[in-house]
């Protein structure tokens, strides 16, 4: 596996593969890899003979009071995992390679509306940071396919919208959430949990499952279901951020007239200590 740090070196290697007629699949990450990321790389390897992953902790997607400085940077260990799974190229640029000028002077890419709800409402500017860095990485890597995890379902939809709106010729592939044995969605931020919080954390998924069951049984008062779920999370020790039932493909609020219940997905974000956990669950399995 090659490890490259500059856009020029990355472009030269990808251009050589292209001259040889090889397709390229790409997995953008912020590192501190876990089995969920490794699953993304495995899926990328199924998509194309050449695979590139990036590790870049993107300051533009962190709010002023968020965990950018403390976000775990574990490049050596990440590199070992990526090599073991058969990745061809790890792109690990320094900050100045991606943002040669102060962030506030850099051009931004923004997807309106979808970026303003759910996580976007709690983390203003977060998705502009994501779409800006992902569009830059797409221009740098020029992949045929890019792979994203479905834990960040809203992010996945926003990237799909960006690619469609800007005519970016990259196919976007989503990969189902990888969970721990007790149901907790794998996340780099799970490492922030104390032993006591880790024991509580699976209740986020359990609450999503309980709400799905109520919907499948015929309950249609979405506001009541959401309020009940937040009460249940608070009782378990979480500080709920949002718990919302929305259209899976458009993130719109459902109404009885506009939405079949089968097309709904439930989205949750909740704080446990200093970890903000997110998860989502479709009402009908795919």
- Report the catalytic residues: 37
Strands 264-272 and 275-282: antiparallel
CB of 130 to ligand PAF, least distance (A): 5
Q: Please give the torsion angle defined by the CA atoms of residues 222, 225, 228 and 234, in that order, rounded to the nearest 10 degrees.
A: -80
* CA nearest neighbour of 2 among 50, 42, 43: 50
CB of 39 to ligand PAF, least distance (A): 14
CB of 237 to ligand PAF, least distance (A): 26
- Retrieve residue 126's tokens: 């977060």
- Of 23-31, 75-83, 92-100, 214-222, which segment contacts ligand PAF by CB under 6 A? 23-31
For ligand PAF, which is the closer residue by CB, 129 or 240?
A: 129
Asked if residue 28 binds ligand PAF (CB under 6 A), the reply is yes
Binds ligand PAF by CB under 6 A, chosen from 44, 82, 130, 141: 130
Asked if residue 143 binds ligand PAF (CB under 6 A), the reply is no
Partners of 179 in the beta sheet?
Answer: 185
- Retrieve residue 270's tokens: 């909740």
CB of 219 to ligand PAF, least distance (A): 32
* Sign, Cα dihedral of 73, 76, 82, 85: negative
Site map 196..235 versus ligand PAF, x via CB under 6 A: ----------------------------------------
Binds ligand PAF by CB under 6 A, chosen from 29, 132, 140, 248: 29
- Retrieve residue 147's tokens: 């792979």
Burial string for 244-263 (b: 16+ CB within 10 Å, else e) reads bbbebeebeebeeeebebeb
CB of 152 to ligand PAF, least distance (A): 5
Q: Alpha-carbon Rg of the chain, whole angstroms?
A: 19
For ligand PAF, which is the closer residue by CB, 95 or 224?
A: 95
Binds ligand PAF by CB under 6 A, chosen from 4, 10, 30, 163: 30
The DSSP code for 151 is G
- Retrieve residue 83's tokens: 């090599």
Strands 50-55 and 145-149: unpaired
Site map 34..73 versus ligand PAF, x via CB under 6 A: ------------------------x--x------------
Asked if residue 134 binds ligand PAF (CB under 6 A), the reply is yes
- Retrieve residue 262's tokens: 């089968």
Q: Please give the torsion angle defined by the CA atoms of residues 256, 283, 186 and 68, in that order, rounded to the nearest 10 degrees.
A: -10
Rounded to the nearest angstrom, the gap between the alpha carbon of residue 90 and the centroid of all alpha carbons in its chain is 19
- Of 27-35, 177-185, 231-239, 247-255, which segment contacts ligand PAF by CB under 6 A? 27-35
Asked if residue 133 binds ligand PAF (CB under 6 A), the reply is yes
Binding site for ligand PAF (CB under 6 A): 28-30, 58, 61, 130, 133-134, 152, 155
């Amino acid at each position: 596996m090659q490890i490259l740090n500059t856009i020029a070196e990355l472009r030269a290697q990808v251009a050589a593969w292209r001259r040889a007629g090889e397709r390229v699949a790409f997995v953008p990450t912020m590192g501190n890899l876990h089995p969920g990321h490794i699953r993304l790389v495995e899926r990328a390897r199924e998509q194309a003979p050449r695979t590139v992953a990036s590790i870049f902790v993107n300051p533009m997607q962190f709010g002023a009071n968020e965990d950018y400085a403390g976000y775990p940077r574990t490049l050596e260990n990440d590199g070992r995992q990526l090599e073991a799974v058969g990745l061809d190229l790890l792109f690990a640029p320094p900050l100045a390679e991606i943002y040669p000028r102060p962030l506030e002077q850099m051009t931004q890419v923004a997807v309106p509306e979808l970026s303003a709800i759910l996580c976007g409402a709690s983390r203003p500017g977060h998705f502009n940071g994501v779409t800006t860095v992902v569009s830059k990485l797409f221009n740098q890597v020029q992949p045929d396919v890019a792979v994203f995890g479905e834990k960040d379902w809203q992010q996945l939809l926003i990237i799909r919208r960006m690619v469609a709106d800007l005519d970016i010729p990259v196919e976007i592939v989503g990969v189902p959430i990888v969970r721990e044995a007790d149901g907790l969605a794998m996340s780099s931020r799970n490492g922030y949990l104390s032993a006591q919080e880790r024991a509580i954390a699976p209740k986020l998924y359990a609450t999503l499952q309980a709400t799905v069951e109520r919907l499948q049984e015929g309950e249609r008062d979405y506001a009541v279901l959401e309020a009940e779920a937040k009460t249940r999370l608070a009782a378990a020790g979480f500080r709920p951020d949002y718990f919302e039932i929305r259209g899976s493909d458009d993130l719109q609020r459902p109404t009885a007239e506009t939405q079949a219940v089968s097309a709904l997905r439930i989205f949750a974000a909740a704080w446990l200590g200093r970890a903000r956990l997110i998860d989502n669950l479709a009402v009908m399995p795919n």
